[in-house]
Chain A
């Protein structure tokens, strides 16, 4: 995604460019309003970030000019004035959103993502194509649960194709949209990136023509047989249950077809009900956004969480997997420790809008659901990477329940799991077990996870041991703190086996790349 930044403050330019590039955005920077107009009207951008106070032509007038000339590119204003008048004149001039300086970078990036989603045909927070999943929030990409390690350009290329999956993209178009205006790549560059991307996709199990070439015209994602529903390939792997007389697991295709027809009929009548449930979530969002009625938020929160929970169960059981995943993200966000931060509220809004659109746009159900338990089982059948079998994972957590569940959760991946509830025994067990990966809880009695992590990073023998935090604490400050103590990754509880296993595998893969 390509962003034009019109800003004259060098320090802010440096900070914003660094963060936006880290999020895989391509950034063009110009320092006055006239140049802003020249670039914005010459090149194609997905979004424009405009400072209000600019030399030659101020941000408000530049914004008006873009709109008057029928440029519809989303515009986000940066204003140092928190006064309502400045915001109102900015929005009236045609801006889509504004952020007040000093800029809170995570909030700005979340707002940019939300604006980009709104302007896309595909506005889901998670982008999917067959077995391919791309999460723009975390920049993680996986194919059939296998994580893919991509370069910046490969990631941007894939994201562009996923967001614009309805269109054939010519090499010229790709060059315009992914390279900044001061770079001069050729079509051969696009071809070589496509080639490398294809190679990585194939290594992860994708068909060779996942990205199809239409000779002389461009590239597009090819429709896969398994296009609708991420469980497609999992079904044949479901273990047959032992009771054929019951017929329930060896159901013949005719029964499944009838079941699907029934689900589709049911969807016609239950769609309005699901939208109605969503309405109560928007009501809760409104209360959060108004910010002043804390008692009202407190009153609505349990009901909102319950509603989101209902949606997870109902949408999933109807076979709407993507909608269920969105509802699950909503449920987990609403259930996080109150009060929700501004950034979390922005994410919640984006999720709700995406969920609403997904429900509205679903006119037919393509695939009946697979049982939740069966999904776990079938993923576990397909997921183990033979080279990782025997990887030693040590988990330190004072939550006994969590510890008990971990060996079971990670068993399908062939990890050797050792659990430890008492952090005082940490060094003894560490030396005895010599783990390949360490998973730490944050809050523990006597010694907390941060202290252990810091001690490891100061220890010559153990300083490179991959450390993943697994904690119920979801707030960004704690996560940042973990990284500042040397964490490699941070996951929030509750966690599902496949997520934890993927993060562990990811970390090991990066370690081995680094060692090579």
Chain B
């Protein structure tokens, strides 16, 4: 599995930690962390990660607004985004797909499975 750089944007510290632990343990990819949409955009601009895992429900700037902002910036528009959400309703998944996200991972998840899930979603 080639080395990749993953940005996790989630306001819950425990989720950030779980994602970082699982990904590094299984795939040894590097994990960048942001706690808000604004911080996520700034990190994406500065670091250009290979994929962004984006929590949907965050205070201030939610995942959908963050995703749209990332799409609007030429520097980040091409970075694939995978939503993290505790909701898995079909209508919402469809809404996410219509937005153009690369995938949706539903909470709860076992972060040891994340590298494999991401690899499949992005055809890496």
Contacts and interface: CB of A to CB of B under 8 A. Distances in A.
B87 to A, nearest CB: 7
Judged by DSSP, the binding face of A is helix
A404 B107 contact: no
Interface residues of A, number: 43
Contacts of A372: 88, 106-109
Contact of B22 (A241, A259, A401): A259
A247 to B, nearest CB: 6
Contacts of A266: 14, 17-18
Interface string A344-369: 00000000000000000000000011
A259 B117 CA distance: 17
Contacts of A405: 90-91
A262 B22 CA distance: 10
B107 A313 contact: yes
Contact of B26 (A255, A318, A324, A371): A255
Interface stretch (A36-44, A220-228, A304-312): A304-312
Contacts of A402: 90-91
A216 interface: no
A401 B88 contact: no
A249 B107 CA distance: 17
A73 interface: no
Interface string A485-506: 0000000001000000000000
Contacts of B22: 259
Contacts of A243: 116, 119-120
A309 B87 contact: yes
Interface string A401-422: 1101100100000000000000
B61 interface: no
Contacts of B18: 263, 266, 317-318
Interface string A247-261: 111010001101100
A370 interface: yes
A292 interface: no
A352 B110 CA distance: 26
Nearest to A408: B90
Contacts of A256: 112
Contacts of B110: 259, 368-371
A306 B62 CA distance: 11
Contacts of A306: 57, 59
A65 interface: no
Judged by DSSP, the binding face of B is helix
Contacts of B84: 313
B14 A248 contact: no
B94 to A, nearest CB: 6
B79 interface: no
Given A255-B25, A373-B106, A248 B114 contact: yes
Contacts of B17: 266
Given A256-B112, A259-B25, A401 B15 contact: no
Nearest to B1: A246
Contact of A313 (B1, B86, B111, B113): B86
A395 to B, nearest CB: 14
Contacts of B113: 248-249, 371, 374
A167 interface: no
A370 to B, nearest CB: 6
Interface string A310-339: 101111111100001000000000000000
A145 interface: no
B26 A248 contact: yes
B85 interface: yes
A270 interface: yes
Interface of B: 1, 12-15, 17-18, 21-22, 25-27, 55, 57, 59, 84-91, 94, 106-117, 119-120
19 contacts: A241-B116, A241-B120, A246-B119, A247-B116, A248-B116, A251-B112, A259-B25, A259-B111, A259-B112, A266-B18, A310-B57, A312-B86, A313-B86, A317-B111, A371-B117, A372-B88, A401-B91, A402-B91, A494-B89
Report, nearest first, the 10 A-B pairs whose CB atoms are least far apart: A316-B108, A248-B116, A313-B107, A405-B90, A313-B86, A372-B106, A270-B14, A246-B116, A401-B91, A369-B108
Interface of A: 241, 243, 245-249, 251, 255-256, 258-259, 262-263, 266, 269-270, 273, 306, 309-310, 312-319, 324, 368-374, 401-402, 404-405, 408, 494
